[in-house]
Amino acid sequence: MRIRHIVVAASLGLLALSGCGKSGPPVVPILAEPSPPTDLTALVRSRTVILAWPRPTTNIDGTALKYLATFHVSRAQTAPQTSDYSVIATVRAEKPDNAVVSGNRYAFTDKDVVVGARYAYTIESVSRRGIIGPPSTEATALVTVDIEAPSSLQAEAGERAVRLSWDAPTRRVDASPLGVVPRYNIYRGTNSGRFDPSPINREPVRGTQFHDTGLVNDQIYYYRVAAVESQEPPWQEGLPSGEVSVSPVDLTPPAPPQGVRAVVGPGLVVSLSWEFNRESDLLGYLVYRSDAPERPPHRLTDAPLKSPTFTDRSVRSGGRYLYTVTAVDASSRRNESVASEVVEVRVP
């Protein structure tokens, strides 16, 4: 049986003696129990069990949990031998040295486990007054021999997206046959070798491909994949694959400039103007000219123009010129729009 202790530091007798000159009954401090973490999960990976849970924000009575101190991690073995629950670790709520914090979620790794054993875990919240709240719901885990890592992981960049593919493992690390069709967990990070403790997929992925969307173009992302043999939680992961890095790219060019106009003179000049493009990532404009309809245009501007105007001072009297303008974005690919409508001029 698990026993929770509430320790009251101040005695009621001292409270009765203290006061500010007014008679009346002593004020008993409210000793609210902190709520337990919700959504406790257990993940088996590389012969360890990774527990993850969110930080609670309220006490049992619904008041705000302002003074959370630690978490008690408790474990019981349920097979093949059995043992009662006991606290195996204390995790600080602030800057823990034995857990990883990502956002408001904690991840603790239990390395003292045995292959073939099944374990059950709970988490208790502890306030700064030493009040231990009730245990969380139970999470269980069966530790198995690892599946080999997926191989040949590849990443293909897309627009704000990445497409991953890999080869499925066929056996465990002890060379025994796998015996199940694995599913997969996908892990992503923005630094090499550092991944969030929870996979980016909500459920293990069927098949050997995954499309990750909603990313930032030109940001480097790192990925790795692990096979999962269980069909429902807790997920039993095999060894992780090697990592790959990839940067999503902007593949969408700006719209072609509209309303291009050309005015000849005064003198041997042609002044061009057009409407502003509205793209937020617009870098500028490029101007092209052809000296005859059958000749391909050549670019007149070395670098993209910031403003929608250009003056061509290289024309000759009696010349016939055809102008087009394109828009270029600021992405690493420098995507260029299709050409604007052709504007033709004759110089007197």
Task: Give the domain-ending residue among 103, 123, 142.
Answer: 142
Tens digit of each residue's pLDDT (9 = 90 or more) over 293-302: 889 999 999 9
**Does residue 326 share a domain with residue 236?**
no
How far, CA to CA in Å, does 12 sit from each of 17, 25, 125, 247? 9, 10, 26, 64
3-class secondary structure per residue, 74-134 = EEEEEECCCCCCEEEEEEECCCCCCCEEECCEEEEEECCCCCCCEEEEEEEEEECCCCECC
**Does residue 123 share a domain with residue 160?**
no
Q: Does the pLDDT of residue 319 top 70, yes or no?
A: yes
pLDDT given at position 240: 94
**Does residue 46 share a domain with residue 130?**
yes
Window from 55-69, 220-234, 278-292 with minimum mean pLDDT: 220-234
Q: How confident is the model at residue 58 (pLDDT cuts 50, 70, 90)?
A: very high
Residue 4, domain member (yes or no): no
Q: What percent of the chain has pLDDT over 90?
A: 79
As for how many domains the chain has, the answer is 3
Task: For residue 210, give the 3-state DSSP assignment.
Answer: strand
pTM: 0.62
Residue 81, domain member (yes or no): yes
Residue 254, domain member (yes or no): no
**Does residue 121 share a domain with residue 232?**
no
Tens digit of each residue's pLDDT (9 = 90 or more) over 103-130: 999 999 999 999 989 999 999 999 999 9
Q: How confident is the model at residue 180 (pLDDT cuts 50, 70, 90)?
A: confident
Residue 199, domain member (yes or no): yes
Evaluate the omega torsion of the peptide bond into residue 80 and state whether it is cis, within 30 degrees of 0.
Answer: yes
Closest by alpha carbon to 330, among 303, 310, 309? 303
Q: What range defines the domain where residue 320 resides?
A: 261-346
**Does residue 166 share a domain with residue 131?**
no
Residue 78, domain member (yes or no): yes
**Does residue 338 share a domain with residue 278?**
yes
Residue 233 tokens read as 């939680």
**Does residue 135 share a domain with residue 17?**
yes
Residue 1, domain member (yes or no): no
**Does residue 122 share a domain with residue 99?**
yes
Task: Give the domain-ending residue among 109, 142, 175.
Answer: 142
Which residues on adjacent β-strands are paired with residue 290? 322
Tens digit of each residue's pLDDT (9 = 90 or more) over 200-228: 998 999 999 999 999 999 999 999 999 99
CATH number at residue 342: 2.60.40.10
pLDDT given at position 22: 52
**Does residue 159 share a domain with residue 136?**
no
pLDDT given at position 139: 95
**Does residue 165 share a domain with residue 94?**
no
Q: How confident is the model at residue 194 (pLDDT cuts 50, 70, 90)?
A: very high
How far, CA to CA in Å, does 234 sit from each of 70, 91, 117, 127, 154? 25, 22, 14, 29, 27
**Does residue 119 share a domain with residue 172?**
no
Residue 203, domain member (yes or no): yes
Which residues on adjacent β-strands are paired with residue 152? none
**Does residue 228 share a domain with residue 116?**
no
Task: Give the domain-ending residue among 78, 110, 142.
Answer: 142
